Amino acid sequence: MPWAGFFVKMMKSDMFVILDHTENNPRDAAFWGRRVRIAVNGTGHWFSVPLVKPAGKIGVPVRDMEISCDEAAHHAMSKSLATFRQNYARTPHYKCYAGLVEEYFASVEPRLAVRNMRFILAVREALGIDAQIVASSSLGCAGRSSELLVEIVKSVKGNTYLSGDGATGYMDMAVFAREGVRVTFNGFVPPCYRQHNTRDFVPGLSIIDMLMNLGAPETARLLRAQLAGAQA
């Protein structure tokens, strides 16, 4: 259930590639695919799902990761859903968009990527985003790090890579320059808006927070206001 900056990046893109073939560690509590922040009692709170941890494996392709269904995981998921309901039930647009979260947690689909994409595609439609979406696993790219990113851009006949703002620490800009691929940065600045039951604005939350507080039309308007700078 990504944060708003993810969807601004999608709005700015012609082709949005979901990186689902690379490996990550399902034991890593900070793995981006399994957690995001929501507002709880006026502060940011991590909203997470437990993953299956395959024996003898550290890295697992994102597309193969599964959500745990044992008793402890079921309890954790039930607790997370209850926390969401308690903190958002009084927001102005809860009835319209709570189903996005309810359906995610009620699903029996074990694959993390499938559940995540169902949510992402539903929000994409609600916000009126028209970027094409493709999974990296369908492109046959085998590089690593910056070489992989360049290979992906070229495989979809692109000439520009739109990067997240925190990627400068690991990207090799010389690789992009050598291959003739331009790099631009998302430059996302979380817009301030009225949040239910918070004294001070809490940035960096899941898109769910904006939808619950503002509804999709106003959320889309605020996020699209950031596109002007990208087009200048």
- What would the pLDDT profile of 173-231 be if each residue is shown by its tens digit? 999 999 999 999 999 999 999 999 888 999 999 999 999 999 999 999 999 998 865 54
The residue assigned the tokens 């769910």 is 208
pLDDT digits (tens, 9 = 90+) for 141-155: 988 889 999 999 999
Per-residue confidence (pLDDT) for residue 168, from 0 to 100: 67
Task: List all residues 6 or more positions away from 115 whose beta carbon is below 8 Å from its beta carbon.
Answer: 67, 104, 107, 109
Of the two residues 228 and 50, the one the predictor is more confident about is: 50
CA-wise closest residue to 92 among 210, 214, 221, 208? 214
Residue 1: band (very low, low, confident or very high) from pLDDT cuts 50, 70, 90 = very high
Q: Give the pLDDT of residue 195.
A: 95
With contact defined as beta carbons under 8 Å apart, do 205 and 3 qualify? yes
- CA 198 to CA 209: how far, in whole Å? 12
Decide which of 62 and 169 is more confident. Answer: 62
- How far is Cα 187 from Cα 68, in angstroms, rounded to an integer? 35
Mean residue pLDDT of the chain comes to: 93
pLDDT (0 to 100) of residue 229: 54
Compute the average pLDDT of residues 126-149: 94
3-state secondary structure of 36: strand
Average pLDDT over residues 156-166: 91
- Confidence at residue 167, expressed as pLDDT on a 0 to 100 scale: 67
The enclosing H or E element of 37 equals strand 35-40
Inform me whether the pLDDT recorded for 109 exceeds 70: yes
pLDDT at 166 over 90: no
Tokens found for residue 57: 């494996």
Distances 143 to 20, 62, 65, 100 between C-alpha atoms, Å: 14, 16, 21, 35
pLDDT for 232 equals 39
Per-residue DSSP letter, 169: T
CA pair distance 141, 183, nearest whole angstrom: 19
Residue 79 tokens, joined: 């607790």
